[in-house]
Amino acid sequence: MLLVLDIGNTNISIGVFSDGAPAGGCLAVHARFSSIDRTSDEAGLLLESLLHSHGLAPGALDGAILCSVVPRLEAVWRNGIREYLGLSPLVVSNRLDLGMKVDMDIPGEVGADRLANAVGAAEKYGRPVVAVDLGTAINIDVVSQDGTYIGGAIAPGLYTSVQTLFSSTAKLPQVALEAPPRVIGRNTINAIQSGIVYGYTGLVDELVSRIIGELGVSAAVVATGGHAEILAAESRTIKTVDHWLTLDGLRIIYWRNNAGNG
């Protein structure tokens, strides 16, 4: 069994696959926790508790892999896994065998989560492919027809913009992130929802359309992340929502770097 962790700025997504092979393996465990500061002991005990709650012992795990965009949390969880589960987790970077070339000006600057999304998208949906991660930030990543990671776009995420809006404007109410009945909001709440949901849908659609134009060929477009369902329902470019894209990418990277043993 394989433990996978996606450590983000807002949440940490944890999964256990029954098999690390690229063809699949059931996601036997999935949980999401806040990306608060923890000690390595707290992280290790949390993982132990999560495994036990699903009837699994730490010894059932054959390996572990993580991607992180928060260096201080990466060290904490890596140490927790070592101390409590007895595993040395693989840490995603462009130096691993990703099954694709990273053709960027500075390859080492590409976020590990972006690499995991690109690998998962190319493996599951073919090439070329555009992966849209709608989380704390919006990451759009592109794999070319020949299987090369060629970059993408980054924009502030919905939650980030909403928090900025509410913290900077005292009279605006906090609202649920959902599509209003029409673009022309007839009240303040609907007007805010319109600006956020339809505005961000337009942002993503415009970027994806321009990306496909630069590619010169049609491409699969897959969305993941906490706000994927909301925007995909309104989008003209997003055709697929895959909640496990990052975790699947981690599983595939682990397999590639461990001779198929996972």
Q: Which domains does the chain have, with CATH numbers?
A: 2-91 (3.30.420.40), 110-248 (3.30.420.40)
Residue 254 has pLDDT above 50, yes or no: yes
Per-residue pLDDT at 99: 95
Q: What is the pLDDT of residue 77?
A: 97
Residue 205 known to be catalytic: no
C-beta neighbour count of 54 within 10 angstroms: 12
Task: Calculate what percentage of the chain has a pLDDT beyond 90.
Answer: 81
pLDDT tens-digit series, residues 229-250: 999 999 999 999 999 999 999 9
What pLDDT does 262 receive?
45
pLDDT tens track for 167-225: 766 566 778 889 999 999 999 899 989 999 999 999 999 999 999 999 999 999 999 99
The per-residue pLDDT of the chain, averaged, comes to: 92
Answer whether 252's CB lies under 8 Å from 231's CB. no
Could you report the per-residue pLDDT of 16-75, keeping only the tens digit for each? Answer: 998 656 656 688 889 999 999 999 999 999 999 999 999 999 899 999 999 999 999 999
Per the residue annotation, which of 6, 113, 141, 242 is the catalytic one? 113
The pLDDT value recorded for residue 26 is: 80
Residue 194: per-residue pLDDT? 95
- pLDDT value of position 22: 60
Q: What is the pLDDT of residue 21?
A: 61
Per-residue pLDDT at 260 exceeds 60: no
Question: Is the pLDDT assigned to residue 125 strictly greater than 60?
Answer: yes
